[in-house]
Amino acid sequence: MESASYKLKPMYRYLMMLTIASAIGNQGWQTLFNNFAVDVGHLNGNQIGIIQGVREIPGLLALLAIFLIRFLREDRLSALSILVLGGGLAATGFFPGYSGILITTLLMSTGFHYYETTNQSLMLQYFNAQTAPKVIGNFRGLAAASNIFIGLLILSLSYFFAYRELYITVGIIVTFFAVWAFSKDPTEKHQQVQTKKLVIRKRYWLYYFLTFMSGARRQIFTAFAVFLLVKKFKYGVDEIAMLFVINNIINYFLSPAIGRAIAFFGERQILSIEYSAVFFIFLAYAYVSTKWMAGVLYILDYIFFNFAIAINTYFQKIGDPREIASGIAVGFSINHIAAVVIPVIGGALWMIDYKIPFFAAAGLSIVSLLAVQKIHYVLPVKI
């Protein structure tokens, strides 16, 4: 039985703390945004849509992180990103107008997306192919627990605090983690030096393709699955919130197991299971007729989405160790191309027939399933 010595690495503790901060910040923003935008900002649907679009811009520009590490170590960029996330959150309550929310959202999102980029990169650099999937799975579980914590905290404080105080509270919590991180040096002396330029290679095409398809799947899940629950099955805010809680509880226990399964069975097998399952889930979305079954599909969809961890661990196995940071930054930007394209195309198709986006998603799942068969077989790791 392999020991958990990787948990003793300074980088493990460092990224664990910052991952908790990132989850708290992102979930805090998600929890407060819509009500704050409507109740205080008095924004209309078009303005909220634009803000949501602007929120994805830093994800598209994540590849710029490779230029920033010319001036900052990656671990320092991670801490700075969390500081920016916390600052953007704390400032939001002071600027309730459209322009103010737009700017603070851009600030918050820049911190969140750049941390996610450096976090994924550092995990693949500091943990080998046997342990990286388990580390990522563990951190996904911690993020789920953090989501539950901040949701319950906001719910409790909302009886006593106004939106401004709630945003300040969440921002201070996140900022505390960033300040802690600046006092630490988790680097190792003999770590592989990363290239400081953008690298795009033909031999990484499958990683790029799977990353793009994963982004498309994420957008269909976040945009149209939830909209189906609200529009067709009349889910209320409390019921949607309950689904989020259920998903995070399941994720807390299941994500570490998914990481171990990737290490044991390999990326091709795990991704094949994901795309086979979501093919039937997307078809079921188009035909489901009962409220409770629609909720079950949403929970299953959320579970299988976590299998996408295997895309990054696949890149770790095929990539040049010097190009991990560059490859992850490029992949993160590619993943977010779909965030701009899919909602627009899917929304137009929804107006014709709400089933069409889900049929299209099922088709994309088959394409992804065929693509992952090109992943070269790697002997399972005994754990």
Q: What digits encode the pLDDT tens for the residues 203-247? A: 899 999 999 999 888 888 877 887 788 788 888 766 877 888 888
Q: What digits encode the pLDDT tens for the residues 28-54? A: 998 888 788 878 888 876 787 788 778
pTM: 0.84
Q: Which of 25, 246, 23 lies closest to 139 in space, CA to CA?
A: 23
Where do the domains of the chain lie, and which CATH numbers do they carry?
5-372 (1.20.1250.20)
* Residues comprising the chain, all counted: 383
Q: Which residue type occupies 65? A: A
Other C-beta atoms closer than 10 Å to the C-beta of 125 total 21
Q: What digits encode the pLDDT tens for the residues 334-345? A: 988 877 777 778
Measuring CA to CA, how many Å separate 102 from each of 107, 163, 299?
Answer: 9, 16, 31
Q: Which of 161, 163, 153, 152 lies closest to 39 in space, CA to CA?
A: 163
**Taking the C-alpha atoms of 37, 236, 52 and 33 in order, what is their torsion angle to the nearest 10 degrees?**
40
Q: How far apart are CA 143 and CA 173, in angstroms?
A: 15
Q: What digits encode the pLDDT tens for the residues 246-269? A: 888 998 999 999 999 998 899 999
Distance of alpha carbon 362 from the chain centroid: 21
Q: How far apart are CA 369 and CA 361, in angstroms?
A: 12
**Of the spans 3-17, 79-93, 347-361, which averages the highest pLDDT?**
79-93
Q: Mean pLDDT, to the nearest integer, of 99-108?
A: 94
Q: How far apart are CA 276 and CA 356, in angstroms?
A: 19
pLDDT given at position 4: 67
Helices 309-318, 132-157: crossing angle, 10 deg rounding: 150
Measuring CA to CA, how many Å separate 81 from each of 72, 142, 329, 348?
Answer: 12, 19, 14, 35
Q: How far apart are CA 21 and CA 364, in angstroms?
A: 33
* pLDDT above 70: residue 201: yes
CB of 324 within 8 A of CB of 194? yes
